[in-house]
Structure 1
Amino acid sequence: MNIVVVGDVLLDVDLDGEATRLCPDAPVPVVDITTVRARAGGAGLVARMLANDGHDVRLVTALGRDEPGHRLLGELTGITVVAGPSGAPTPVKTRLRAGGHPVARIDEGCRVRSAPEVTPKMLAALSDADVLVVADYGRGLTRNSSLRTAVATLARSVPVIWDPHPAGAAPVPGVTVVTPNQSEAQAAVRAAGAGAPGGAGEVAAALLRHWQSKAVLLTQADQGATLVQVSAPVPVHLAAPSVAVRDSCGAGDRLAASLAGHLVSGSALEESCRRAVREASAFLTEGGVAALPSLPRPLRFPSAEAEPDALAVARRVRALGGTVVATGGCFDLLHAGHARTLAAARGLGDCLIVCLNSDDSTRRLKGAGRPIISQQDRAELLLSLHCVDAVLVFDEATPERALAQLRPDIWVKGGDYDPARLPESALVRSWGGRCLSVPYHPARSTTGLAAALARVG
């Protein structure tokens, strides 16, 4: 079953530490940072929670082409991301905590400049959803008329959960359930001119009429939630266990993710809401977003097979509209010529992936005495260079199979090669890529260095 999440994403950064003294030039605490942790926020957090729960999930969103956007994609590893350009910086929200208590929040790039575009590919990614979650974080994506039409069409046949935002668009008519919290709901009632907000049941009923949804689940923090449905207009109170909460961040995302998971399994709406309310409370009891499991990171030591991390780097950069650069070679005994060539190649795009000859491939090319350094050590040395983003080891005589997997925009070789005569040049051009050369530095070679070392030995 396929759950699709559509909405605005942001990068959340947590800075945790201890405050044991005041700043000498102002009466503010000095926080000694002990932990820095980044995670996907907004719709990205909903998608991450669903993926952690074991669901097949697809995220449809808009992404900024910048370093925080690249980091954000890294936090979404394992999730299918279909993204269009946001046309704005990636929003970053940094939370500073001391002893587990919030001290401050720093927002960067969070002011909305213009609504992002919605591409045909994004719309197509919605079409086969078994459940759709709209996670609106007020950055304009849900105002797009094409997207709203697609969501309204889906709502006729599959469950659609709409998590609203005060600065976002109103839900499209016909969605299965809208999940505002108490302050969002009261603000929406006032904005709609539906009279003075009353009790939770009255507010939920007013919004049910105004939004023309099938149900409204109004969450009320430790008081639980109130559910009103068109099919059963008498408000139903869903109790939640009382919890001591330091930070409620992510509770609404947990509720939406849990609700989607229960609906996709075939549970009825009221029972799904009841379970989701309990699970959101349990989420806060367990520590909230601060207790979410860290995203496993793949080891960066390539094997003789295609290294998944290299392919993931290429996908992330390409999704942000960036330029993928690749180069290749044995890189047996790294020297200054290698470092200069690699740095020049990295300057041509937004990432550099090195296609590295395996030990067997190097031996066939260079002779029985080579390589001097094993492929794992060569890969580790390359990855230690700031200009190298990933390494992909290949076992063939030429890197053509590796290139066919990476499909780089630019394939770079040292200036002693004629790009037009490279055996892989036709392959690279077949997908619109280019073959380029960078300056070659004479008198610097692995063979010469190896000979010098042999004399010393």
Structure 2
Amino acid sequence: MSSPLVVIGDSLLDVDLVGRAGRLMPDAPAPVLSDLAEHPRPGGAALAAALLAADGHEVTLVTALSADPAAERLTALLEDEGVRVVALDHDGSTPVKRRVLAGGRALLRLDEGSPGRIGGVTAAALVAIRGASGVLVSDYGNGVTSVPGLRDALSGLRSPVVWDPHPRGSVPVAGVHLATPNRDEAMSGEQAAVATVPIVPTAGGSPLARVSRRAAALVEEWQVQAVCVTLGAGGALLSRGEESPSIVPAPAVHAPDTCGAGDRFATAALAALAGGAVTLEAVQQAVAAAAAFVEAGGASSYGSRRRVETGPGVADRVRAEGGTVVATGGCFDLLHAGHVATLEAARALGDCLVVCLNSDESVRRLKGPTRPLVPQEDRARVLAALECVDDVVIFDEDTPVEAIRRVRPDVWAKGGDYAGAELPEAPLLREWGGQAVVLPYLHGRSTTSLVDLARS
């Protein structure tokens, strides 16, 4: 078994209060929210640790924890994800950030929690750091990265270290493999801890050229191996101090909530480096992972893998916003034009499309021992890359009945010829007022015919 990944940093409790805004207050130009639902999740360094654990990594989180109800709630969330917590004493109160959302957009944020003294580094923390296969420093400016002893433990560490900085935090330790400030963190001259090298304006200098110069200057200032400035929809700029940095473009995504994208980027970069990737490869994987994370709902969709028993995050979000959830299912082995036509037609029936995908074992029971030709992870990834697909849920049963029950779609779209006959899923849909519909196949396209053609 490989050594665990370690996340060091400031943790907080994030709570989303999601409601439906249907009217304004009669005495003020403010929305009235109804049907409020509370969704707690780990925040800050705790979110980074939870994301890595959800990806299947063994994770240890070194963080400061207070003795209060918010910390207890946060610890329980981390335990649910399988994260091992090494706590540093904190005599303040746990930071809590509450966002009020409607229509997928934040209306208000309420912050609470007070800073306090953080106890010194513990022996358990030092053991975890020295035995890590990779370390992510997730700095949220609340003091953990300034604890005496932690910086010494990171200095000279052979395992890859990714440092995600914060304006109020500490300068990265010299020798760090990759520092990942966002554009504002890298460019603001007022943030002394993050950007101590002044920007020298030049006539006609483009914004990208200014970011490039700043990244190169930070490589020298921080004495790190590389600086990657994340640019949101613009992707990322990777500099090792050279005049011509690498640009990694981001795929287009359609989502209003980017909360947590930086954490997803940093965690994906660390996992890639710990797995042996070179820095540019790690950044490419991190850009793709952050884009997929935002497309799936960002931090608001946290825990959708664990919440599969009650429905995926995308479906929950669309339903909370009053939208129509559409689902369809199948094996989708060797995706072809007929599949795409059916999926596009299904997506046109509502506001999101969830594909219930047969697992490899399910396909073998249905199609025989030579199928599937493509493993479930690859089939799911290809489906998720389609613009018309919003989420993919893999199920192990022979039929999608239980998956449908978990997703609870408003519309179940089934491809095939069922003229004059009721779909077998129709009675299930009626339990919650859903509707089953038939989408005719595109004539002459099938996986079986493709397989037969290839064999001949």
- Please tell me the residue identity of whatever aligns with 1:28: A
Q: TM-score, normalised by structure 1?
A: 0.61
* Match in the other structure for 1:119: 122
- Please tell me the residue identity of whatever aligns with 1:151: L
Q: How does 1:274-289 map to 2 (within 5 A)?
A: 274-289=284-299
- Determine the C-alpha separation between the residues in 2 that align with 1:4 and 1:80: 9
- Determine the C-alpha separation between the residues in 2 that align with 1:196 and 1:63: 42
- Please tell me the residue identity of whatever aligns with 2:199: G
Pair 1:106 & 2:110 matched: yes
- Please tell me the residue identity of whatever aligns with 1:99: G
- CA displacement at 1:177 relative to structure 2: 0.4
* Match in the other structure for 2:300: 290
- Please tell me the residue identity of whatever aligns with 1:283: F
Query: For the Cα contact (< 8 Å) 1:75–1:295, is it kept in 2?
Result: no
Task: Report the secondary structure of 1:133's partner residue.
Answer: strand
| Per-residue Cα deviation, 1:248-279 (whole angstroms, up to 9, x for no partner) | 11000000111111112111111111111111
Task: Report the secondary structure of 2:149's partner residue.
Answer: helix
Query: For the Cα contact (< 8 Å) 1:152–1:173, is it kept in 2?
Result: yes
- CA displacement at 1:290 relative to structure 2: 1.7
- Determine the C-alpha separation between the residues in 2 that align with 1:223 and 1:30: 35
| Per-residue Cα deviation, 1:127-171 (whole angstroms, up to 9, x for no partner) | 1011000000100111123111111131xx110000001111110
Q: Against the structure 1 CA distance between its residues 208 and 41, is the aligned structure 2 distance closer, same or farther, given a 3 Å change threshold?
A: same
Task: Report the secondary structure of 2:15's partner residue.
Answer: strand
- Determine the C-alpha separation between the residues in 2 that align with 1:291 and 1:194: 38
**Which residues of structure 2 form unaligned runs of 5+?**
202-208, 310-456
- Determine the C-alpha separation between the residues in 2 that align with 1:86 and 1:207: 32
- Determine the C-alpha separation between the residues in 1 that align with 2:93 and 2:258: 26
RMSD, aligned CA: 2.0
* Match in the other structure for 2:161: 160
Q: How does 1:202-351 map to 2 (within 5 A)?
A: 202-229=213-240, 234-294=244-304, 296=306
- Determine the C-alpha separation between the residues in 2 that align with 1:295 and 1:140: 32
- Determine the C-alpha separation between the residues in 2 that align with 1:196 and 1:167: 23
* Match in the other structure for 1:369: none
Query: For the Cα contact (< 8 Å) 1:42–1:135, is it kept in 2?
Result: yes
| Per-residue Cα deviation, 1:285-343 (whole angstroms, up to 9, x for no partner) | 1111122334749x9xxxxxxxxxxxxxxxxxxxxxxxxxxxxxxxxxxxxxxxxxxxx
Q: Pick from 52, 56, 67: which aligns with 1:54?
A: 56
Query: For the Cα contact (< 8 Å) 2:93–2:115, is it kept in 1?
Result: no
- Determine the C-alpha separation between the residues in 1 that align with 2:23 and 2:200: 47
Q: Against the structure 1 CA distance between its residues 101 and 58, is the aligned structure 2 distance closer, same or farther, given a 3 Å change threshold?
A: same
- Determine the C-alpha separation between the residues in 2 that align with 1:92 and 1:195: 35
Q: Against the structure 1 CA distance between its residues 114 and 186, is the aligned structure 2 distance closer, same or farther, given a 3 Å change threshold?
A: farther
- Determine the C-alpha separation between the residues in 2 that align with 1:188 and 1:4: 31
* Match in the other structure for 2:210: 199
* Match in the other structure for 2:175: 174
Query: For the Cα contact (< 8 Å) 1:61–1:122, is it kept in 2?
Result: no
- Determine the C-alpha separation between the residues in 2 that align with 1:229 and 1:33: 50
Q: TM-score, normalised by structure 2?
A: 0.62
- Determine the C-alpha separation between the residues in 1 that align with 2:112 and 2:256: 24
* Match in the other structure for 1:185: 186
* Match in the other structure for 1:17: 19
- Please tell me the residue identity of whatever aligns with 2:173: V
Task: Report the secondary structure of 2:70's partner residue.
Answer: helix
Q: Pick from 132, 136, 143: which aligns with 2:135?
A: 132
- Please tell me the residue identity of whatever aligns with 1:122: A
Query: How many corresponding residue pairs?
Result: 294
* Match in the other structure for 1:30: 32
| Per-residue Cα deviation, 1:4-63 (whole angstroms, up to 9, x for no partner) | 111110000011011112223432111114321101011111111111100111111110
Task: Report the secondary structure of 2:252's partner residue.
Answer: coil
- Determine the C-alpha separation between the residues in 1 that align with 2:230 and 2:109: 24
Task: Report the secondary structure of 2:238's partner residue.
Answer: strand
- Please tell me the residue identity of whatever aligns with 1:249: C
* Match in the other structure for 1:90: 94
- CA displacement at 1:64 relative to structure 2: 0.9
- CA displacement at 1:190 relative to structure 2: 6.3
Identity %: 43
- Determine the C-alpha separation between the residues in 2 that align with 1:276 and 1:214: 17
Q: Against the structure 1 CA distance between its residues 233 and 121, is the aligned structure 2 distance closer, same or farther, given a 3 Å change threshold?
A: farther
* Match in the other structure for 1:73: 75
- CA displacement at 1:95 relative to structure 2: 0.6
- Please tell me the residue identity of whatever aligns with 1:161: V
Query: For the Cα contact (< 8 Å) 1:223–1:242, is it kept in 2?
Result: no
**Which residues of structure 1 form unaligned runs of 5+?**
300-457
- Determine the C-alpha separation between the residues in 1 that align with 2:143 and 2:105: 32
Larger-Rg structure: 1
- Determine the C-alpha separation between the residues in 2 that align with 1:114 and 1:245: 38
- Determine the C-alpha separation between the residues in 2 that align with 1:27 and 1:75: 37
- Please tell me the residue identity of whatever aligns with 2:161: V
Query: For the Cα contact (< 8 Å) 2:88–2:118, is it kept in 1?
Result: no
Q: Against the structure 1 CA distance between its residues 113 and 10, is the aligned structure 2 distance closer, same or farther, given a 3 Å change threshold?
A: same
- CA displacement at 1:194 relative to structure 2: 2.7
Query: For the Cα contact (< 8 Å) 1:189–1:196, is it kept in 2?
Result: no
Query: For the Cα contact (< 8 Å) 2:11–2:42, is it kept in 1?
Result: yes
